Amino acid sequence: MGDNIFLYIPNLIDYGRVGCIIYVCFYYNTNPLMTAFMYALSQALDAFDGMAARKFNQCNAFGAVLDMVCDRVSDAIMLSILAQLYPSLSGVFLLACGLDIGSHWYQTYSTQYCGEAHHKTAKTEYRLLHIYYNAKGFLFTMVLGMEMFLVNMYLKAHEHNIDVPDWFKIVNTSLLLFSVPVFILKSFISVIQLMSASQKICRHETQLKLEASKKK
């Protein structure tokens, strides 16, 4: 593949994720089961792009951005769909959407602004945020639980118009009950992430101004 970064294997995987999300955008109202499958597939592929990048020595800045954009956009789209399907909870889902995008944007910007290597390894004074990014089991549980919540909520809204056995509905409801606390905790972590990144930016800017004033 030479030096064509666009054709790196991890980036090809992410293009597949983009295709899945495009399907979700157009068919979420007409084909619930396939929509749920395509969304879940998009999230599952997220586990393989990083592995492929490391295995084939194809880690790249374009792919890192593409991966994060896929994560944020896919969650935003599904949260927006849930806001349509559950009008009484639309404010909750839209707020969660904005919080997810805003907190990750601040975290990424603060990492670059403060000269740190990666947003997942950035220093923080908040213990919960440190655990979230450094305890792989905890991070995996939070991400999996969040995506389960989105898919299970989506399927729950369509139970009346999809032909599935009763056991499927029972399993879906059980998984939903498990994932609701994860959704709440994940949203709380986003608040902490936003606070941590904001404080870091302000401290770094204050330090830069102090250093500049000393040079005058």
What pLDDT sits at residue 2? 55
How many percent of the chain have pLDDT more than 90?
84
Alpha carbons 19 and 38: distance in angstroms, whole number: 9
Output the pTM of the full model: 0.91
Most confidently modeled of 45-54, 119-128, 146-155?
A: 146-155
- Sign, CA dihedral 130-131-136-138, equals negative
> What mean pLDDT comes out for the span 45-56?
93
At the topology level, CATH places domain 5-215 in Four Helix Bundle (Hemerythrin (Met), subunit A) (1.20.120)
Answer with the residue of higher pLDDT: 2 or 36: 36
CA distances from 40 to 17, 21, 103, 146, 154 (A): 10, 10, 23, 11, 12
pLDDT bucket at 214, cuts 50 / 70 / 90: confident
CA distances from 132 to 123, 135, 139, 170 (A): 12, 6, 5, 30
Is pLDDT of 119 > 90? no
> What would the pLDDT profile of 149-189 be if each residue is shown by its tens digit?
999 999 999 998 899 999 999 999 999 999 999 999 999 99
What pLDDT sits at residue 83? 98
Is pLDDT of 1 > 50? no
Catalytic residue numbers? 71
Asked if 8 and 59 touch (Cβ cutoff 8 Å), the reply is no
> What would the pLDDT profile of 15-26 be if each residue is shown by its tens digit?
999 999 999 999
How many percent of the chain have pLDDT more than 70?
96
Three-class SS state of 86: coil
